Amino acid sequence: MANDPIFTGKSVDEAIADGLRALGLTADSAEIEIISRGSRGIFGLGSEPAQVRITPRAAKS
């Protein structure tokens, strides 16, 4: 899993949406791990983006 891409956004929802779109997946077909929820900082200064790791789910046989 260390090689799975990490996606960032202003919020967790934005990071997930960007990652799913980039990978061509739906939420039902992906494992989503929240790495960091990010922070807004004070008046926008020192803010950190939310980070998520998205991997395709293994196909069920």
Looking at residue 2, its pLDDT comes to: 60
Query: Is residue 55 predicted with pLDDT exceeding 80?
Result: yes
Does residue 18 contact residue 7 with C-beta atoms inside 8 Å? yes
Q: Which one, of 50, 3, 55, lies nearest residue 30 by Cα?
A: 55
pLDDT tens digits, 7-32 = 999 999 999 999 999 999 999 999 99
What is the residue extent of each domain of the chain? 6-56
Res. 61 pLDDT band, cuts 50 70 90: low
**What's the Cα-to-Cα distance from 19 to each of 7, 13, 15, 35, 46, rounded to whole Å?**
6, 10, 6, 13, 24
Q: Which two tokens stand for residue 9?
A: 């956004």
Looking at residue 30, its pLDDT comes to: 96
